[in-house]
Amino acid sequence: GENVEQHPSTLSVQEGDSAVIKCTYSDSASNYFPWYKQELGKRPQLIIDIRSNVGEKKDQRIAVTLNKTAKHFSLHITETQPEDSAVYFCAASWVGGGADGLTFGKGTHLIIQP
Amino acid sequence: EAGVAQSPRYKIIEKRQSVAFWCNPISGHATLYWYQQILGQGPKLLIQFQNNGVVDDSQLPKDRFSAERLKGVDSTLKIQPAKLEDSAVYLCASSYGQGREAFFGQGTRLTVV
């Protein structure tokens, strides 16, 4: 089955700086890669996703890049703000065969220092 | 639109007891998932339903876990008997279909003592 590795487990950045979280996946058939943000005690919420036919996607301060050859994808947050503090999870799945449940990484605790 | 509803929010039981969780997905969402999130880890898929049929239950510990989605709407997840290692947050998620955004509920935090 799919295996997703996520690094780093904790990331502390100064407010206004950029943050980068990296993930690798094992199953070359995976074609859907979402990123979820989970604040303490709350539900995971989708912040951005990318499909295998696209190399990069951007939404305001958030961007995701995908390298299918290397089987890795990254989340980039620019101009970080205090409200960006949370745990971020990458995930992967194969969409097209019926079963498309997500395999998640272990998460990155992002801390924004004022 | 209303979100995914789950109940109860918290549950404490003794090992070897049974417990059930309930999920009401977003209206119109055909796909429903149950995930287990152990503290400090990412959610792990337990089972996926498409309408009232099981699509994937390969990671469900079937000797103690069961789930159903009667009438293709609400779903229940049951654990019987519970073990200490079942302590986790059980998240329900739903989506319109394959490859569409999955919306998560608040989860049920289970503590087995």
Tell me the pLDDT tens digit for each residue of B2-47. Answer: 799 999 999 999 999 999 999 999 999 999 999 999 999 999 999 9
Of A42, A43, A89, the CB nearest to B42: A89
Any bridge partners for residue A35, and if so which? A48, A90
Q: What is the pLDDT of residue B1?
A: 57
Any bridge partners for residue B33, and if so which? B48, B93
For the stretch B80-100, pLDDT in tens is 999 999 999 999 999 998 889
Going from the C-alpha of B88 to that of each of A46, B30, B44, B68, the distances in angstroms are 21, 26, 11, 20
* Lookup: tokens for A96: 């097209």
Q: What is the pLDDT of residue B19?
A: 98
Interface membership of A96 toward B (CB under 8 Å): yes
Range 36-55 of B in CB contact (< 8 A) with A: 40-45, 48, 50, 55
* Shortest Cα distance, chain A CAs vs residue B77, angstroms: 17
Where in A1-114 does DSSP place strands (E)? 4-7, 10-14, 19-25, 32-38, 45-51, 56-59, 62-67, 72-77, 86-92, 103-104, 108-113
Q: What is the pLDDT of residue B97?
A: 87
CA-closest candidate to residue A106, choices A36, A14, A16: A36
Q: What is the pLDDT of residue A98?
A: 82
Interface membership of B27 toward A (CB under 8 Å): no
* Lookup: tokens for B7: 């109940």
CA-closest candidate to residue A22, choices A91, A92, A74: A74
- Among residues of chain B, what percentage have pLDDT more than 70? 99
- Among residues of chain B, what percentage have pLDDT more than 90? 91
Q: Please indicate whether residue B99 or residue B103 has the higher confidence score (pLDDT).
A: B103
For the stretch B47-64, pLDDT in tens is 999 998 999 999 999 999
Whether B48 and A43 lie within 8 Å, measured CB to CB? no
Going from the C-alpha of B94 to that of each of A39, A82, B29, B34, B97, the distances in angstroms are 20, 29, 6, 9, 8
The SS3 call for residue B85 is: helix
Chain A positions touching B42 (Cβ under 8 A) are 4, 6, 89, 91, 104-107
**B interface mutation test: which of A6, A37, A38, A102 has the most B CBs within 10 A?**
A102
Among chain B residues, CA nearest to A90 = B42
Range 60-89 of B in CB contact (< 8 A) with A: none
Phi-psi region of B28 (alpha: psi -120 to 50; beta: other; left: phi over 0): left
Quote the mean pLDDT of chain B: 96
Q: What is the pLDDT of residue A24?
A: 98
Q: What is the mean pLDDT of each run of 10 residues along chain A (114 residues)?
A: 96 98 97 96 95 94 97 98 98 90 97 96
Place of tokens 């960006």: A84
